[in-house]
Amino acid sequence: RKEVEQDPGPFNVPEGATVAFNCTYSNSASQSFFWYRQDCRKEPKLLMSVYSSGNEDGRFTAQLNRASQYISLLIRDSKLSDSATYLCVVNVERGNQFYFGTGTSLTVIP
Amino acid sequence: NAGVTQTPKFQVLKTGQSMTLQCAQDMNHNSMYWYRQDPGMGLRLIYYSASEGTTDKGEVPNGYNVSRLNKREFSLRLESAAPSQTSVYFCASSEAPLGYNEQFFGPGTRLTVL
């Protein structure tokens, strides 16, 4: 079973739409959680960390549900520039490793 | 600051050839990582170095070796390349290995093994 699973999409949404991605993780000992953004043929870059209480950064909101072992990312008022692949990342203390999901592809359409 | 740099950007090898991928960071980070990214598989950790002088295996270490040359540099070596090692390789660094530490990635090396 994969450590981290994401719906690969693709999600095609119009500008201004709200879109949500979910990601599930298998290890209940997971300690820290992140969303990264990866543009086509580029390196991943941190979008936001995910805290237990949930956190918001402008149009982006991240939530963590430890009981159900999933994290979510909500993007409001989508912009063309939001088109990218969004990677869910989980850190497990065992082995000091970060586990990446396969990514969810988002295309925002004019 | 250049951040994380990787060389080369592209490489084509024949089966059985060897090569070393170079990575350097100028952010004074303690931890460095090597990942490979394949379609449908996500990024998978090959090796990491929590601090200068230490290295540990990640999820997919077979066929690779690493050297943490100093705090700045972390190289990945393929001793005898195989077609299954065709992939995009990313180096990353972070201030510390655990907790809410952002990983900064290099631009990647696109490797094809024929």
Eight-class DSSP state of B96: S
Using a CB–CB cutoff of 8 Å, tell me whether A10 touches chain B. Answer: no
Taking the alpha carbons at both ends of chain B, their separation in whole angstroms is: 36
Instruction: Output B69 or A107, whichever has higher pLDDT.
Output: A107
- DSSP 8-state code for residue A69: T
Q: Does B67 touch chain A (CB under 8 A)?
A: no
Query: Could you tell me which of B8, B11, B13, B75 has the C-alpha nearest to residue B47?
Result: B75
CA–CA distance, B27 with B106 (Å, rounded to integer): 12
B26 touches chain A (CB under 8 A): no
- Is the pLDDT at A101 greater than 60, yes or no? yes
Phi, psi of B83, deg, nearest 5: -55, -30
Size of interface A-B (CB pairs under 8 A): 54
Q: Is A103 left (phi over 0), alpha (psi -120 to 50) or beta?
A: left
Token code pair at residue A102: 């396969």
Q: Mutate which of A5, A35, A43 to disrupt the B interface (most B C-beta within 10 Å)? A: A43
* Among chain A residues, CA nearest to B43: A100
Residues from chain A contacting residue B35 (CB–CB below 8 Å):
100
Mean pLDDT within B69-89: 96
Query: Average of pLDDT values for B61-79?
Result: 96
What is the tens place of the pLDDT at every residue in A60-98?
Answer: 999 999 999 999 999 999 999 999 999 999 987 655 678
The H-or-E segment that residue B2 falls in is none
Instruction: Specify the amino acid at residue B6.
Output: Q
How near does any CA of chain B get to the CA of A13, in Å? Answer: 22
Percent of chain A predicted with pLDDT > 90: 75
What is the 8-class DSSP label of residue B99? S
Q: Is A103 touching B (CB cutoff 8 A)?
A: yes
CB-based contact, A54 to chain B, within 8 Å: no
Q: Which residues pair with A24 in a beta bridge?
A: A5, A70
Q: How far away is chain B from the Cα of A16, in angstroms, using its nearest Cα?
A: 28
- Do the chains contact at A46 and B107, CB–CB below 8 Å? no
pLDDT digits (tens, 9 = 90+) for B16-56: 999 999 999 999 999 999 999 998 888 999 999 988 999 99
A49 in contact with chain B, both atoms CB, cutoff 8 A: yes
The amino acid that residue B111 corresponds to is: L
- Collect all residues of chain A within an 8 Å Cβ-Cβ radius of residue B2: none
Give Cα A105 distance to the centre of its chain. Answer: 10
Q: Give which of A58, A70, A80 is closest to A24, Cα–Cα.
A: A70
Report which secondary-structure segment, H or E, holds A80. none
Contact criterion met (CB below 8 Å) for A3 and A26: yes
- Which three-class secondary structure string do you get for B24-88? EECCCCCEEEEEEEECCCEEEEEEEECCCCCCEECCCCCCEEEEECCCCEEEEEECCCCHHHCEE
Element (H, E) at A109: strand A104-109
Say whether B42 and A103 touch across the interface (CB within 8 A): yes
> Residue A23 corresponds to which amino acid?
C
